[in-house]
Amino acid sequence: MAASRTLRIGLIPGDGIGREVIPAGRRILEALPASLGLKFSFVNLEAGFECFQKTGVALPDKTLETLKKECDGALFGAVSSPTTPTKGYSSPIVALRKKLDLYANVRPVKSVAPTRAFPDPIDLVIVRENTEDLYVKEERTYEKDGDIVAEAIKRITKSASSRIATMAGEIALRRAKIRAEVGGDSAAAKQKQTMVTVTHKSNVLSQTDGLFRQTAFDALAQPKFRDGGVKVEEQIVDSMLYKLFIQPAYYDVVVGPNLYGDLLSDAAAALVASLGLVPSANGISNPIATLRSVGLMLEFLGQEEAAAKIYAAVDGSLLEGRLLTPDMGGKAKTDEVVEDVIKRL
């Protein structure tokens, strides 16, 4: 048995659906085989619109400080958005990204069974830079020559581009390790190449996207990626969207600036029929996204074997297709799906 290690996990249900799926994530962690040598302790934390309504603060200082000082990782549920402007309220997720410098949005997209449209298995990850690009929200509107002009700043830095590309390369290496753990000698596992696709629009935006492109290639030329067998290629973002829908099984890890990563993430989710299957996305109460997010968290904590077991259990449940939630055409409840995955662990 592996040496025991205890990981401290923050649980932030947020609002609505989060109060159902985050406890499901905790149950999966607690159900992992003892042979892995992992133990978990949990701390319940508050954030979200309901928290704001009760306390006047959407992201309490206590939540932030506990995450910084006590937690190895955290699971964040869903956050409601007020339908009308609400004085003093701003998104706690955006605030958390800024205060903890969560610079990477990592969105795995995976199918478990062939379809007429996509007979080959889809198993890719969109890695989106999360701090800059057009989303720095520096805009202005003014009059010029009798016209109204609105402008927005697109900011790309070498430092942010380098670290997101490095993250993409590290994810590619981890995915190769997990494929070996889960896939064994399967044909799909052998055929999937370890690869990072850098997506950009440098043919038009030569300075901003040009900097992102060159910096990403420089970062991915590090010996650990080259020696690890990571292939690097590039794709202009508009053709990337086209090819994503034509040949999604080809891609492994796709990295891009904030705006392109945002578009690619939601577009890729359509390939597997439900946002409820895609980690970090919100949707009808489907716990699969949360369970896969648990695996993703364990990956980043260096627990690839535990992550692989969760992915295999989730895939097995989906592949059998006996317990599907309403967003996938079934009638199963969250608890039924979670119990099925736990049995497979």
Q: Quick one: which of 203, 205, 217 has its CA closest to 161?
A: 217
List Cβ neighbours of 182 (8 Å cut-off, separation of 6 or more): 189, 308, 311, 312
Q: What are phi and psi of 285, to 5 degrees?
A: -60, 85
The order of strands in the sheet holding 5-14 is: 38-44, 5-14, 73-78
Q: What is the pTM of this model?
A: 0.84
Q: How confident is the model at residue 344 (pLDDT cuts 50, 70, 90)?
A: very high
Check: CB of residue 30 under 8 Å from CB of residue 63: no
| Per-residue model confidence (pLDDT) at position 285 | 59
Average pLDDT value for the chain: 89
For the cut 80, the answer to whether the pLDDT of residue 112 exceeds it is: no
List Cβ neighbours of 293 (8 Å cut-off, separation of 6 or more): 25, 75, 279, 280
Instruction: Tell me the per-residue pLDDT of 3-23, one tens digit each, with 9 for 90 and over.
Output: 577 999 999 999 988 898 999
For the cut 80, the answer to whether the pLDDT of residue 333 exceeds it is: yes
Q: How confident is the model at residue 318 (pLDDT cuts 50, 70, 90)?
A: confident
**56 vs 185 pLDDT, higher one:** 56
Q: How confident is the model at residue 343 (pLDDT cuts 50, 70, 90)?
A: very high
- C-alpha distances (whole Å) from 188 to each of 54, 178, 195, 246 are 50, 13, 15, 18
Q: How confident is the model at residue 230 (pLDDT cuts 50, 70, 90)?
A: very high
Q: Quick one: which of 313, 337, 311, 343 has its CA closest to 324?
A: 337
Q: Quick one: which of 158, 176, 278 has its CA closest to 229?
A: 176
Percentage of the residues of the chain whose pLDDT score is greater than 70: 92
For the cut 60, the answer to whether the pLDDT of residue 294 exceeds it is: yes
| Per-residue model confidence (pLDDT) at position 9 | 97
What does the longest C-alpha to C-alpha distance in the chain come to?
75
For the cut 50, the answer to whether the pLDDT of residue 1 exceeds it is: no
Instruction: Tell me the per-residue pLDDT of 234-246, one tens digit each, with 9 for 90 and over.
Output: 999 999 999 999 9
For the cut 60, the answer to whether the pLDDT of residue 275 exceeds it is: no
Check: CB of residue 194 under 8 Å from CB of residue 231: yes
- In the chain the first and final C-alpha atoms are separated, in Å, by 17
Instruction: Tell me the per-residue pLDDT of 20-44, one tens digit each, with 9 for 90 and over.
Output: 899 999 999 999 999 999 999 999 9
Q: Which CATH architecture has domain 103-272?
A: 3-Layer(aba) Sandwich (3.40)
Q: Taking the CB of residue 134, how many other CB atoms lie within 10 A of it?
A: 17
For the cut 50, the answer to whether the pLDDT of residue 281 exceeds it is: no
| Per-residue model confidence (pLDDT) at position 185 | 46
Q: Which amino acid, one-letter code, is at 328?
A: M
Domain locations along the chain? 103-272
| Per-residue model confidence (pLDDT) at position 282 | 34
Residue with tokens 């704001």: 52
Residue 102 Cα to chain centre, angstroms: 12
| Per-residue model confidence (pLDDT) at position 156 | 98
Q: Quick one: which of 128, 137, 44, 132 has its CA closest to 90?
A: 137
Percentage of the residues of the chain whose pLDDT score is greater than 90: 65
| Per-residue model confidence (pLDDT) at position 242 | 95
**156 vs 77 pLDDT, higher one:** 156
Instruction: Tell me the per-residue pLDDT of 68-87, one tens digit each, with 9 for 90 and over.
Output: 999 999 999 888 878 788 89
Q: Return left, alpha or beta for 196; rule: phi > 0 is left, psi -120 to 50 is alpha, else beta.
A: beta
Q: Quick one: which of 296, 236, 270 has its CA closest to 108?
A: 296
